[in-house]
Structure 1
Amino acid sequence: LDEMGPADFAPGTGMDVRPHPHIGLATLTYLLDGALFHRDSLGHAQEITPGAVNLMVAGRGVVHSERSPPAFRASGGKMRGLQFWIGLPKKFEETDPGFEHHGREALPALEGEGFRLRLAIGALHGLSAPTTAFSSCFLADVALDAGATYELSADQEERALYVLAGEIAIDGAAFPAGELVVIRPGAPVALRAKQPSRFAALGGEAMDGPRYLWWNFVSSDRERIFAARAAWEAGHFKSIEGDPEFIPAPELKAL
């Protein structure tokens, strides 16, 4: 999980993540504020805005860049988002790379007493998101009114929540914005908002074995990481049309 921002860009400035490679995972990008433009070596070019989803499946290898789009760069403004790296099961680690975009209106939503929820991937509360999932998982954007309670089901083996705004109480313990709360498996948990709050709820089945993670590469095979780095440095990854910049790989001595 990576939180981008929050940042407030002056007019004429923006975010520039130059072309870089990935293997062995899928990245799910979900914005809270601002806008971001995705380009990849498969030929996709897609702007993402708050409440929508960009899912990029790296599989055996892909290159992408993430930059502020021209209109946002010209006007400036607030930028904040979340990017989740989703581990691929071993049988999908070397799958063909891919990309998909789902607009805000395509994602299922649910409203209850004092809460509002949008589901970015997976299944939750009888909802099912259109986003491709290679394993059982979920990610939901949840807003709670002050004093409201939300119950997170125990359907998934691993669960957590990341507090984006406000303050959440669980069994008398308070968790402010910026806290990642890992929940013990096995039982539903009630979350109460001590003030108007927002959090990302996420979870899924445990990985099918350990993974090596280095830079932008993930694999169950240590040697695959070394090979991917060598391929990137040698220019063997397909480049992005219209975005020729390049981030050199850091030094790798051992894993």
Structure 2
Amino acid sequence: MLDIVIEARKASIGPGMDVRRILPFRLRRMVGPFIFMDHAGPVAIQPSQTTSMDVLPHPHIGLSTVSYLFGGQVTHRDSLGVQQVIRPGEVNWMTAGSGIAHSERFEDPAALAGGQLEMIQTWVALPEKDEEASPSFDNYKPEELPIFTDTGVWMRLIAGEAFGLQSHVHTHSPLFYLHVLLEKGARFGIPMGHTERGIYIAKGSVEVSGRTFSAGQMLVFNKVVDPVIVGKEIATLMLLGGEPLGERFIWWNFVSSRKERIEQAKADWKEGRILLPPSDNQEFVPLPEDHSRPAGSPSPQALS
């Protein structure tokens, strides 16, 4: 059955960059290992304002950030020395583990022309045994990701396993993550065999069990149902889920199974023990001085 419908909330991560925040939600903190989800764009901005959108170097621990673009391009730089331009259909999968810093820059004004920039960003929590793993980064090209097509349906498997397909994207726990396009009247399912599953409607609208749901909503299902998704109009969907990992605390850009680890990460960033990207180290996001929120409560976060 349908467990909950999450309505995306507006959040600002910087001048000219408002996003729709889906996870975490106060009544549903995670879906499988997915603990965070933002939908940015389409962004319409003047070329002179491009630099105001940049996400300056900032830290992460205890998670993997997953960036996926519908349009535009973004330049990623991190403390491992990686510099990577991500384009539509590619996957940037950065595992923070014990700690990493990265930036996201919008350096090509042409990529923002006409409101082209649009991206989905998720965070995947790590199993306890991997929370302190060495940081890593991988970029996967569209041709590396499995595609499925049927009448009125196009699907790309971003990560994990679904519908008999398997992605080569390296993950740390059982999950699935799909980009799906549905034509009006087309029918699609949701992968079975996972404890927690969700459908985020990025564009358009769908019908499930006689009810219509629209862009900006996430539908979360339990394990026992096999819902049929019907396109009410052309729709873009992101399907995700997997096995729960247990309680996780989240504060700013830090995720951990232990509150004290969050406190350590705060001190590490404040004292400069998490290195900045070597090619982007002249500015950074300072640690928020937010004493009103204990570790474990949602707080303002960077895009990734």
TM-score w.r.t. length of structure 1: 0.95
Equivalent residue, structure 1, for 2:249: 212
User: Which letter maps to 1:216?
Assistant: N
Does residue 6 of structure 1 match 2:42? yes
Equivalent residue, structure 1, for 2:155: 117
Query: Number of residue pairs matched?
Result: 254
| 1:82 corresponds to which of 117, 120, 126 | 120
Equivalent residue, structure 2, for 1:91: 129
Contact map agreement 2:72 2:112 (CA 8 A) in 1 = no
CA-based RMSD: 1.4
Which runs of 5 or more structure 2 residues have no equivalent in the other structure? 1-36, 296-304
Q: Percent of pairs identical after alignment? A: 39
Residue 155 of structure 1: CA displacement?
1.8
Distance across 2 between alignment mates of 1:203 and 1:135: 11
Contact map agreement 2:205 2:212 (CA 8 A) in 1 = yes
| 1:243 corresponds to which of 269, 274, 280 | 280
User: Which letter maps to 1:8?
Assistant: A
Residue 144 of structure 1: CA displacement?
0.6
Distance across 1 between alignment mates of 2:191 and 2:256: 30
Please give the per-residue CA displacement for 1:51-110, whole angstroms capped at 9, x wherever unaligned: 110000000000000111335468574211001100100000000000000011111100
Equivalent residue, structure 1, for 2:195: 157
Structure 1 stretches of at least 4 aligned residues deviating more than 4 Å after TM superposition: 73-77
Distance across 2 between alignment mates of 1:101 and 1:203: 21
Seen in structure 2, the aligned counterparts of structure 1 residues 74 and 121 have a Cα distance that, compared at 3 Å, is closer
Contact map agreement 1:12 1:74 (CA 8 A) in 2 = no
Equivalent residue, structure 2, for 1:224: 261
Distance across 2 between alignment mates of 1:73 and 1:7: 10
Please give the per-residue CA displacement for 1:208-249, whole angstroms capped at 9, x wherever unaligned: x21110000001111111111011011111111121211111
TM-score w.r.t. length of structure 2: 0.80
Equivalent residue, structure 1, for 2:22: none
Aligned to 2:286, what secondary structure does the other structure show? coil
Seen in structure 2, the aligned counterparts of structure 1 residues 187 and 159 have a Cα distance that, compared at 3 Å, is same
Please give the per-residue CA displacement for 1:1-51, whole angstroms capped at 9, x wherever unaligned: 111122112224323000000000000000011111100000100000111
